[in-house]
Amino acid sequence: MNLFSVVSSGNLEQCHPYLQEVAIRVLEIINIAVDCGHRPQVDQEKAVREGKSKVHYPHSAHNSCPSLAFDLRPWLPQLGVNIYNTFDPKVAAIWGQLAGVVIAVGNEVAKTRAEWKRFSIIWGSDWNGDRNVLDTNFLDYGHFEVKIGGAHGNG
């Protein structure tokens, strides 16, 4: 049985209840860590400076309270590489697998409450949601955010 670390649990508590439910269900399928939930102004501007986000505070889904975005990563200590800083095709496949699970689980969770029925998940490597990462010019593999109807952003 997979469990969230104390850090992941704290990060997840900063997120919208919909995202919390998605992460809990994803954890039943894939062992994951939650690296970021809410991102305050100083952290958002740092993310922009470091090229990890393209949007300034308060325009990221991470900036709302509760957060409408989280950054996840597969928990794979046996891999022996920094999963964020490698272009190994095996690692890309792992990110794709995680994204598929998060999106599918998000769709299922959206059906569980009337107020979530317009919710879906946008992956940070498929911003327009067309399932084609080749047309994406900003890859943010670990970023997932709530799309409500037609609105979504860029990290």
Rounded distance between C-alpha atoms, residue 11 and residue 100, angstroms:
22
Q: Return the CATH number at 23.
A: 3.30.1380.10
The full DSSP string for 83-148 is: TTS---HHHHHHHHHHHHHHHHHHHHHHTTSGGGTTEEEEETT-TT-SS-GGG-SS--TTEEEEEE
Asked if residue 1 belongs to a domain, the reply is: no
pLDDT in tens, 58-103: 999 999 999 999 999 988 777 655 666 566 777 788 899 999 999 9
**Structural domain harbouring 121:** 6-148
Asked if residue 154 belongs to a domain, the reply is: no
pLDDT of residue 57: 98
- Residue recorded with tokens 């439910």: 21
Cα-Cα-Cα-Cα dihedral sign, residues 32, 56, 127, 150 = positive
Asked if residue 71 belongs to a domain, the reply is: yes
The structural domain count of the chain equals: 1
Asked if residue 10 belongs to a domain, the reply is: yes
Asked if residue 97 belongs to a domain, the reply is: yes
- pTM for this prediction: 0.91
Asked if residue 153 belongs to a domain, the reply is: no
What is the band of 153 on the pLDDT scale with cuts at 50, 70, 90?
low
